[in-house]
Amino acid sequence: MTAVLVIEDDDRIRLALLLALEEEGYAAYGAGTAEEGLRRQRETPADSVLIDLMLPGIDGFECIRQLRRDDDVPIVVVSARDDTHDIVAALEAGADDYLVKPVAIKELSARLRALRRRGRSTMVPA
């Protein structure tokens, strides 16, 4: 079963995502802060990570950078921030995809499957 770590500080959103992902057949577990998410990923690596940008303490951008230092896990940002600057900054920090809240769980699930099929690219841009 594919495991997904959801790093989201809003308890209601985190719980809704966890329940929806479990209904889609994922083993889903959550973290309310970036620090907790980083620790959980080190201890029990997930196959994919969903992360919000607006987190207390370490923000989502820095969390993505820290995840990337140690891990090649697919990262999908799920954020209410829809400004192009934020989207580009998240992708430049190392995220693989970006969805604006509210998300359609079927679309999120399809994107997670696509990332898993593709794997991480080792190509370097020209």
Q: Measured between alpha carbons, how far is residue 46 from residues 23, 29, 87, 99 in Å?
A: 17, 9, 23, 19
Q: Is the pLDDT of residue 119 over 80?
A: no
Positive/negative CA dihedral, 84, 90, 96, 99: negative
Question: How high is the pLDDT of residue 1?
Answer: 84
The CA distances from residue 36 to 22, 39, 88, 110, 121, in Å, are 21, 5, 25, 26, 27
- Among the listed residues 41, 57, 52, the one whose alpha carbon sits nearest the alpha carbon of residue 10: 52
Helices 34-43 and 60-70 cross at an angle (nearest 10°) of: 20
Peptide bond into 45 cis (omega under 30): no
pLDDT score recorded for residue 23: 96
Model pTM?
Answer: 0.92
When pLDDT is averaged across residues 7-28 and rounded to a whole number, the result is: 97
Residues 38-77 pLDDT 10s: 999 999 999 999 999 999 999 999 999 999 998 999 999 9
Model confidence band, residue 120 (pLDDT cutoffs 50, 70, 90): low
* Whole-angstrom distance, CA of residue 16 vs CA of residue 61: 23
Domain spans of the chain, in order of start: 3-118
What kind of fold does domain 3-118 have according to CATH?
Rossmann fold (3.40.50)
